[in-house]
Structures are given as structure tokens and as C-alpha cells.
């Protein structure tokens, strides 16, 4: 079920109404939200509801056992089994075809005839997200950072529909305590929830979908037909598209959760204002970057052990982070670019004196370099293959000519989407405050006009969110 659809609008109105009616009865409320979340997930394909339920039971059982055992070999064994179950399921559904085809290509390259079975496995939507949430829960229980929750609480946490299929990756200690508190409808910031939903719809339907249909998809589909300026515009366009698409989804998810009485962590913080790649990852997909830091980078040793080990840990973390996004070498290469640059930044900052002077020109230069490293990596993230990414880069450097499909409106949209990130945060807060002070009827009128404008400005059809495929 996609957010910007009539189906979801009807579903959410029913769930929102029933949720607040049942809120005083916590047991019935949790059961209702659990069923509603499973309906939301099963709308795509009911066959995989069992996968979500199985993940819930396995991880709840593991956390319960870990909560009862004392430190020792048995606890490590239980943790290992839980991690193997989670990662094994993810590997089977997401990476089986990738590893088999890669092995077959390697064997063929050696002059042998491969006979490896290649099965057509459907990727369950959202499996990467709820698997990571399950892992964080089990590991937090193992570390003693969180106590095992009752089955119904954990089941609601893992399946809660606003963040189920594309995040943000919410930690158990952030959401489960909220499930136990009685919510007061009078304390809900409904105006902010509707503001976020309307803003997220604009980002997705107008900004992301327009750039995708009119520029990004045609150029990436056949770069050989396009000139260098068109390639460059498409790269910038994709940088804006993926931000508007994913942050738009996140805004809608946070807004829906807020209307239901729950607060999710922020997932984006004007990432294209970053002045280093480390700063970029503090601002982009924050819940994933902190997950990778806390459960992978730290487990590998983090920054302990000298510069070489730190560089190795950064590279491994980002390579695996790239592979998490998709079963293709393009994602691995994307992660490799980020990992290598992060390691280089760390090495250079270690050599630079702490009291070295800075200037406005230097800061602008750092922003310029960071933004274009990110855009370079986006080419591999978006391309269908490494060969296609290479073709994009070749055409970017050699195919100078007219930019026939790059209209002034598209250039203005790309420039405005990047420039608006540099607007002081207080401006948006003041606009939202003005909207919040309106009476319900004027608020409704503003929202109705916004939805009408979004529908009129956006292209026809409903495009899935980019991160649904991960």
C-alpha cells in the first residue's frame, strides 16, 4: 500500500479513528494496531505476512532467553543463532540471486561451465528495514541496554505500519516505551503532523516524480543518446530526486505516527549542506548511519587501533552498507566510494592542526567537493550496472552538445531544491507556527488547496518510493 493513494487515505482515516477510540483500552489498542499493520503489509503480498510474523516470534524468543541468561557462552550462542536467523533470511531473499550469478560469471570467466541453480525469488518489501530493527532489539537486550518486551509490544514495534517498509529505522528503546504510555489526544501536535504529510507528498509527487519522469529516467535509461550537459543535469536531478523521494516518505511516516500519538526520530537534516562526507552521514538517512555506526562499525573496532584499522573499519562498514541497499555491484561500488572518502577525510583531519584557521572560501570549497563526491557516487547507485555507470561518466566528459531535454523549469526545480536546504531552520519553523495557529477550518482549507496543487503539478500515475526496493 503506497502512501500517496486513495487506498492508503481510506485505510489511515479508519485506523486513526479506531486508534483513538481504543486508546484507553491498551490491550485492545495494541491488538488492533498489530492487525492494521499486518493488513498494510499484506496489501502488497499476503504470502510474506508469515515472514514478518516468523521474524517477530524468532527474535522475541531470542530476546526472552537472553534476558534470562547470565553472561557467558550460552548468551553468545543465542545471540549468534538470532543473528544467523535474521541475516540468513535477508541473504536468502535479497542476495541469493546476486551471489549465484556472480559465482556463475566468475566460473565462466575461468573457462568452465557453471551449473548453479538460479531461482527466481521475490524480494519481500521492507525486509531490510524490519530485519535491522529486529537485530538492534536483540543486540540491545544482549548488551543490557534494553529489557525484553512482552510479545505484543515487540510485535507492534516490529510491524508498526508508518515505518514498516522504508523506515526510519526506529530503535526499540525509542518506540516500545511509547506503546506503554497512555496517549492524550489533546497533547497531539496534529497541525505539525498534517504539515509533515503535506510537505512529504509535495516532495514525492511534485519534486521527485517530475524529475524522474522528465529527466532522470530517460537519461539513465540510455546515456548514449544524451549530451554532457544533459548527463550532468540528470546527475544533479537524481541527487535531488532521491532526497525528495526518501525524505518525503520519511516526512509522511513521521507525520502519520505523530497523528497516532508517536514520535519518530529525525531521518534527514539538510544533507546537501554538508561540508564533509562525515557531516553528510550525520544528516542523510540518520537512523541507518547511526545503526551502521552502533552495530557494525563499533563491533569491528571503530576508531580504536590506529589509522589503518579505522580506515579498514570505515571501508568495510560502507561496503556492507552499500550491499544493504541492493544486491548489485553498483551498490557495493557506491559504498566503496563513501568508505574510501571517509577514510581519506579521517586521515587528512588527523594531520591538520586543530587550531588551523578557516575561511568562508574554504568552507564553500569543502561544500563543493563534498556535494560532488556524493553526486559521483549517486551515478553508481542509480545505474543499472557498472557498465552503464561507466557510460554515464564517459558521456559526461566527452559528449558536449546541446541540452535539449533540460528545460528552464527543470533547472529551476533542481536549483531551488538544493538552495532551500540553506534557508535557516527558523524560517520553516515560523511558517509551520503560522499554520498551527490557524483555526481548524482554515487549516483544512489550506491542506485541501495544497493537495489540489500537488495533484495538479505532479505527473500522472503513482511511482513507488525508491527505498521500497531495499
Provide the pLDDT confidence category of residue 106 given band limits of 50, 70 and 90.
low
Say whether 25 is catalytic.
no
Whether residue 462 lies inside any domain: the answer is no
pLDDT of 200 > 70? The answer is: yes
Determine the Cα–Cα distance for residues 213 and 405; give it in Å rounded to an integer: 11
Domain that holds residue 369: 190-457
pLDDT of 422 > 80? The answer is: yes
Whether residue 404 lies inside any domain: the answer is yes
Report CA-CA distances (Å) from 278 to 33, 271, 350, 372. Answer: 38, 11, 14, 14
User: Which pLDDT does position 117 carry in this prediction?
Assistant: 60
pLDDT, mean of residues 239-267:
94
Determine the Cα–Cα distance for residues 124 and 377; give it in Å rounded to an integer: 26
Q: For the chain, what is the domain count?
A: 2
Where is the domain boundary, 135, 152, 187? 187
pLDDT digits (tens, 9 = 90+) for 345-404: 988 887 777 666 778 888 999 999 999 999 999 999 999 999 999 999 999 999 888 888
Determine the Cα–Cα distance for residues 170 and 154; give it in Å rounded to an integer: 12
pLDDT digits (tens, 9 = 90+) for 30-46: 999 999 999 999 888 78
Whether residue 390 lies inside any domain: the answer is yes
DSSP single-letter state for residue 144: T
- Quote the distance between the C-alpha of residue 24 and its chain's center: 33
The fraction of the chain above a pLDDT of 90, given in percent, is 62
User: Which pLDDT does position 355 carry in this prediction?
Assistant: 65
Whether residue 1 lies inside any domain: the answer is no
Same domain? 263 vs 367:
yes
Q: What is the pTM of this model?
A: 0.91
pLDDT, mean of residues 281-304:
93
Determine the Cα–Cα distance for residues 104 and 277; give it in Å rounded to an integer: 36
Asked whether the beta carbons of 262 and 168 are under 8 A apart, the reply is: no
Provide the pLDDT confidence category of residue 125 given band limits of 50, 70 and 90.
confident
Same domain? 180 vs 195:
no
Active-site residue identified among 307, 325, 338, 372 = 325
Where is the domain boundary, 152, 187, 222? 187
Asked whether the beta carbons of 264 and 253 are under 8 A apart, the reply is: yes
Same domain? 182 vs 194:
no
User: Which pLDDT does position 99 carry in this prediction?
Assistant: 66
User: Which pLDDT does position 170 carry in this prediction?
Assistant: 93
Provide the pLDDT confidence category of residue 109 given band limits of 50, 70 and 90.
low
Same domain? 356 vs 425:
yes
Same domain? 69 vs 92:
yes
Same domain? 347 vs 312:
yes
pLDDT of 242 > 90? The answer is: yes
User: Which pLDDT does position 54 carry in this prediction?
Assistant: 94
Helix, coil or strand: residue 211: helix
Provide the pLDDT confidence category of residue 463 given band limits of 50, 70 and 90.
confident
Same domain? 174 vs 204:
no
User: Which pLDDT does position 119 carry in this prediction?
Assistant: 54
User: Which pLDDT does position 467 carry in this prediction?
Assistant: 74
Choose between 307 and 156: higher pLDDT. 156
pLDDT of 97 > 80? The answer is: no
Same domain? 269 vs 418:
yes
Whether residue 447 lies inside any domain: the answer is yes
Provide the pLDDT confidence category of residue 107 given band limits of 50, 70 and 90.
low
Same domain? 154 vs 293:
no
φ/ψ (deg, to 5) at 403: -105, 80
Same domain? 233 vs 344:
yes
pLDDT, mean of residues 298-305:
87
Q: Which of 82, 412, 337 is nearest to 329 (CA)?
A: 337
Q: How many Cα atoms sit within 13 Å of 141 on the Cβ side? A: 28
pLDDT of 344 > 70? The answer is: yes
Same domain? 148 vs 42:
yes
Determine the Cα–Cα distance for residues 100 and 115; give it in Å rounded to an integer: 10
Provide the pLDDT confidence category of residue 460 given band limits of 50, 70 and 90.
confident
Determine the Cα–Cα distance for residues 76 and 83; give it in Å rounded to an integer: 10
- Look over the chain and give the mean of its residue pLDDT values, rounded to a whole number: 89
Range in 118-122, 349-353, 390-394, 460-464 with the lowest mean pLDDT: 118-122
pLDDT digits (tens, 9 = 90+) for 14-34: 999 999 888 888 899 999 999
pLDDT of 423 > 70? The answer is: yes
Determine the Cα–Cα distance for residues 342 and 278; give it in Å rounded to an integer: 6
Provide the pLDDT confidence category of residue 231 given band limits of 50, 70 and 90.
very high
pLDDT digits (tens, 9 = 90+) for 134-152: 999 999 999 999 999 999 9
Where is the domain boundary, 155, 187, 219? 187
pLDDT, mean of residues 272-297:
95
Handedness of CA 280, 247, 123, 464 (dihedral sign): negative
Same domain? 166 vs 18:
yes
Please spell the DSSP secondary structure of 335-400, one letter per residue.
HHHHHHHHHHHHHHHHHS-TT----HHHHHHHHHHHHHHHHHHHHHHHSSSHHHHHHHHHHHHH--
Amino acid at each position: 500500500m503506497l502512501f500517496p493513494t486513495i487506498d492508503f487515505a481510506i485505510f489511515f482515516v479508519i485506523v486513526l479513528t479506531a486508534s483513538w477510540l481504543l486508546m484507553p483500552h491498551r490491550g485492545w489498542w495494541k491488538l488492533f494496531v498489530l492487525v492494521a499493520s499486518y493488513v498494510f503489509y499484506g496489501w502488497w503480498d499476503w504470502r510474506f505476512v508469515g515472514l514478518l510474523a516468523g521474524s517477530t516470534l524468532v527474535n522475541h524468543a531470542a530476546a526472552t532467553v537472553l534476558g534470562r541468561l547470565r553472561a557467558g557462552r550460552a548468551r553468545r550462542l543465542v545471540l549468534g543463532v538470532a543473528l544467523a536467523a535474521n541475516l540468513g533470511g535477508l541473504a536468502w531473499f535479497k542476495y541469493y540471486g546476486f551471489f549465484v550469478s556472480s559465482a556463475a560469471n566468475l566460473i565462466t570467466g575461468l573457462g568452465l561451465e557453471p551449473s548453479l541453480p538460479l531461482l527466481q525469488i521475490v524480494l519481500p518489501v521492507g525486509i531490510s528495514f524490519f530485519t535491522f530493527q529486529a537485530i538492534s532489539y536483540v543486540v540491545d537486550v544482549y548488551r543490557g541496554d534494553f529489557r525484553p518486551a512482552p510479545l505484543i509490544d515487540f510485535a507492534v514495534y516490529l510491524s508498526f505500519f508508518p515505518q514498516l517498509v522504508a523506515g526510519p529505522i526506529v530503535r526499540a528503546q525509542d518506540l516500545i516505551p511509547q506503546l506503554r504510555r497512555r496517549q492524550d489526544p489533546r497533547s497531539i501536535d496534529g497541525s505539525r503532523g498534517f504539515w509533515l504529510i503535506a510537505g512529504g507528498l509535495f516532495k514525492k509527487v511534485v519534486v521527485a516524480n517530475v524529475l524522474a519522469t522528465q529527466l532522470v529516467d530517460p537519461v539513465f535509461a540510455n546515456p548514449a543518446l544524451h549530451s554532457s550537459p544533459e548527463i550532468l543535469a540528470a546527475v544533479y536531478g537524481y541527487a535531488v530526486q532521491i532526497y525528495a523521494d526518501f525524505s518525503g516518505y520519511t516526512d509522511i511516516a513521521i507525520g502519520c505516527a505523530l497523528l497516532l500519538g508517536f514520535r519518530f526520530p529525525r531521518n534527514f537534516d539538510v544533507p546537501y549542506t554538508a561540508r564533509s562526507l562525515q557531516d553528510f552521514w550525520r544528516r542523510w538517512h540518520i537512523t541507518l548511519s547511526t545503526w551502521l555506526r552502533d552495530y557494525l562499525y563499533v563491533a569491528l573496532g571503530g576508531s580504536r587501533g590506529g589509522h589503518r584499522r579505522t580506515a579498514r573499519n570505515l571501508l568495510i562498514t560502507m561496503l556492507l552498507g552499500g550491499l544493504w541497499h541492493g544486491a548489485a555491484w553498483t551498490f557495493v561500488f557506491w559504498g566503496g566510494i563513501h568508505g574510501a572518502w571517509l577514510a581519506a577525510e579521517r586521515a587528512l583531519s588527523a594531520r591538520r592542526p586543530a587550531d588551523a584557521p578557516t575561511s568562508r572560501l574554504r568552507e564553500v570549497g569543502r561544500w563543493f567537493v563534498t556535494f560532488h563526491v556524493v553526486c559521483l557516487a549517486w551515478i553508481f547507485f542509480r545505474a543499472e550496472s557498472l557498465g552503464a555507470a561507466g557510460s554515464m561518466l564517459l558521456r559526461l566528459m566527452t559528449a558536449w552538445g546541446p541540452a535539449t531535454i533540460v528545460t528552464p523549469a527543470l533547472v529551476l526545480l533542481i536549483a531551488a531544491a538544493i538552495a532551500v536546504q540553506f534557508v535557516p531552520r527558523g524560517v520553516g519553523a515560523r511558517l509551520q507556527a503560522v499554520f498551527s495557529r490557524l483555526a481548524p477550518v482554515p487549516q483544512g482549507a489550506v491542506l485541501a488547496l495544497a493537495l489540489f496543487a500537488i495533484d495538479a503539478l505532479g505527473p500522472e500515475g503513482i511511482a513507488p518510493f525508491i527505498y521500497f526496493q531495499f
